[in-house]
Structure 1
Amino acid sequence: MTATTLDLIDRKIVSALMQDATQPIGRIADQVGLSQTPCWKRIQKLEAAGVLTGRVAIADPAKLGLGLTVFAGVEAPDHSPEWRAGFERALAAMPEVREVYRMAGIYDYLLQIIARDVGAFDEFYKRLTTVVKVKSCSSLFVLERLKATPGYPVDTTTR
């Protein structure tokens, strides 16, 4: 199942679940014009196909004592599969790392890191650079989050 094979009803179901995954199947079914059983079967197919990858609660990091968000640009010392595998293993073991992107441009990787404060980020940085060699790491500290949208824009208007 790919974006081109999702029909309008599938896209409406995905959009509804991204807005609120806790809503009852009956409400989603009403929104998309199905009865509950066919709607549930479509959700199961979307999960089996990997379109829906999980259902989570979204928390406010500041209210969890995680007041600092940092974006770190990392330059790799080399581009060998061995280095990349070690880097990926190191990041997988660090819960502060929320997202990782392999990039084209100035940085090889862009990391989103969440931490309690600057001191906690510094501890993370020391741990990262002890576990894996990096050519450089440049950090950008977030002053204010203006927008954070957990879902994605899904076309729910055209066939």
Structure 2
Amino acid sequence: MLDERDRKILSLLQEDASLSVGDLAEKVSLSISACSRRIQRLEETGYVARRIAVLDRDKMGVPTTVFALIKTAHHADDWIETFRKAIADIPEIVEAHRLTGNYDYILKVVLPRVEHYDVIYKQIVRKVELFDVSASISMEILKSGMAVPVDYAR
């Protein structure tokens, strides 16, 4: 069971995972050892899945975002696994979701420029049969992040 201090620790770690235990302890009014034990427990119980560095996309040379909306005529488990394998090794595809509604999948693709999308498209269609693919170019990022709400955690 999480308490308010656990939630505050999780929120702070989401904002900046490089904070020292001392800084975290001070911000949540705990001793360093008590805070350290809580962090260890949150990691061991899976609340903290991993700690990562978020890179600047402009500096990394991939400022363009394209969302590829995919329809397929195939819904069998073996096709889904083939599709999963086809996209797994393409680093430009940073997210993939199976959807309800008019499209079956959406891919978030980060690219050096929009023209590079064709390279990614061809990599996918060489490996798996698709019924329809529609792409939309992101014009502006209005909100971005990986932080999730902590108030719902049990």
- Is the TM-score greater than 0.5? yes
**Does the Cα contact within 8 Å between 2:70 and 2:106 map onto a contact in 1?**
yes
AA at the equivalent of 1:79: H
RMSD: 1.7
Provide the identity percentage: 38
**Does the Cα contact within 8 Å between 2:66 and 2:114 map onto a contact in 1?**
no
1:14 aligns with 2:21: no
Determine the structure 2 residue equivalent to 1:121.
Answer: 117
SS of residue matched to 1:71: strand
Alignment equivalent of 1:150, drawn from 146, 150, 153: 146
CA shift, 1:102, in A, is 1.3
CA shift, 1:149, in A, is 2.5
SS of residue matched to 1:131: coil
1:41 aligns with 2:37: yes
**Does the Cα contact within 8 Å between 2:67 and 2:108 map onto a contact in 1?**
yes
For residues 103 and 6 of structure 1, the distance between their equivalents in structure 2, rounded to whole angstroms, comes to: 31
SS of residue matched to 1:39: helix
For residues 43 and 127 of structure 2, the distance between their equivalents in structure 1, rounded to whole angstroms, comes to: 36
CA shift, 1:146, in A, is 2.1
Alignment equivalent of 1:88, drawn from 76, 84, 88: 84
Aligned length: 153
Alignment equivalent of 2:133, drawn from 133, 137, 140: 137
For residues 31 and 74 of structure 1, the distance between their equivalents in structure 2, rounded to whole angstroms, comes to: 45
Alignment deviations for residues 104-124 of structure 1 (CA, whole Å, 9 cap, x no partner): 111111111101112221100
For residues 121 and 49 of structure 2, the distance between their equivalents in structure 1, rounded to whole angstroms, comes to: 30
CA shift, 1:26, in A, is 0.8
1:31 aligns with 2:27: yes
In the superposition, the TM-score normalised over structure 1's length comes to 0.89
In the superposition, the TM-score normalised over structure 2's length comes to 0.92
Determine the structure 2 residue equivalent to 1:68.
Answer: 64
AA at the equivalent of 2:66: V
AA at the equivalent of 1:25: V
Name structure 1 gaps, 5 residues minimum: none
AA at the equivalent of 1:116: P
